[in-house]
Structure formats: structure tokens, C-alpha cells
Amino acid sequence: MTQQQISRLLDVSDRTLRDWKKNRHRLYNLLESLDYSDAKEKINAVDVDDVVMFDSTMYSHNLFWQTNEQSEQNVYAIISNYLSSMNENDIQKLCEQFGKSMVKSVLVDKYKKMYSQGSISTSGMDIPLTGTYNQNEMYKQIVKIINNY
């Protein structure tokens, strides 16, 4: 596995992996020698691009209202939709289910995309965005919830 795959799969920071590479050679070499798909399967891990069985009863309400209580959904869509709800319990559930790093990476991706467009479109009205995504107050609130998990 690559360092990026190890980080994503084990929800370990790059800084920790660099430390392992330097001070825990055998552990790092073992992880590096593993096949990503095999390791992912053995620990039941998912990527943001994976489609999983989604159980809406785990969350405060079903944001995939057009489906029953259980449906197949893309992991990115699940995380993105429930981050938008700003519900602290739902965001904590996302962290529990998918890991803090994956939730945070979807958040960053979502806000970077919004800011690259320059505005948010809502029912025909465009709300301009100024500054940088990481200075947005809602972004800061969500990051705080994720970090406190």
C-alpha cells in the first residue's frame, strides 16, 4: 500500500506514518507490503467512492427521503448530505462510521468546490462567497465538531 492508502484506510495522519517509517520500520514495511484491496476487505473499510448499504435509522432523519430506511448510497453522498445538516449527533455518527479523516476530507472537498464556484446557488438566487473556505464560520463549526469527536 502507498502511504496515502495506509493513511486513508487506518485513519492515521501522515505525520504519524512518517514517524512509523522512521522509528517503526517493521510495522511500516508490513503495512506497505500489504495489498490495499485485501487489507480494506479484511477490516471492512470503505472509500468515499464506495457504495454501501445505508441505514437511515442511524441518523436523526433520512436525507435520502426518496428511499426506504435502507438503500445503497455512495459514501461521499452520505457524508456530504449529513455534513450539510449541521446536526452535531449526525456528524459524530459519520465520524464513528467512516472515520474523522474521511469526514474531514469530504468537508474540505465540498467547501473548496463551493469557493471555486464563487457563490452558492439557492432557488435562483446566487449568494457570493468571499475569502477562503477555511475561514467560513459554518466550516469552522463543523471542523470543531469533527475535532471534538
Indicate the DSSP class of residue 129.
Answer: -
Most trustworthy range by pLDDT among 40-44, 80-84, 97-101, 116-120:
80-84
The count of structural domains within the chain is 2
30 and 98 share one domain: no
Dihedral pair phi/psi, residue 119, rounded to 5°: -160, 165
Instruction: Answer yes or no: is pLDDT of 36 > 80.
Output: yes
* Distance separating alpha carbons of residues 112 and 133, to the nearest angstrom: 6
Copy the grid coordinates of residue 138: 459554518
pLDDT category of residue 106 using cuts at 50, 70 and 90: very high
**Which residues constitute the domain of residue 114?**
51-148
pLDDT category of residue 42 using cuts at 50, 70 and 90: confident
Q: pTM for this structure?
A: 0.76
Per-residue pLDDT tens over the stretch 58-98:
999 999 877 777 889 999 999 999 999 999 999 999 999 99
61 and 117 share one domain: yes
Q: What amino acid occupies position 134?
A: N
* Chain position carrying cell 484491496: 37
96 and 131 share one domain: yes
* Distance separating alpha carbons of residues 112 and 90, to the nearest angstrom: 22
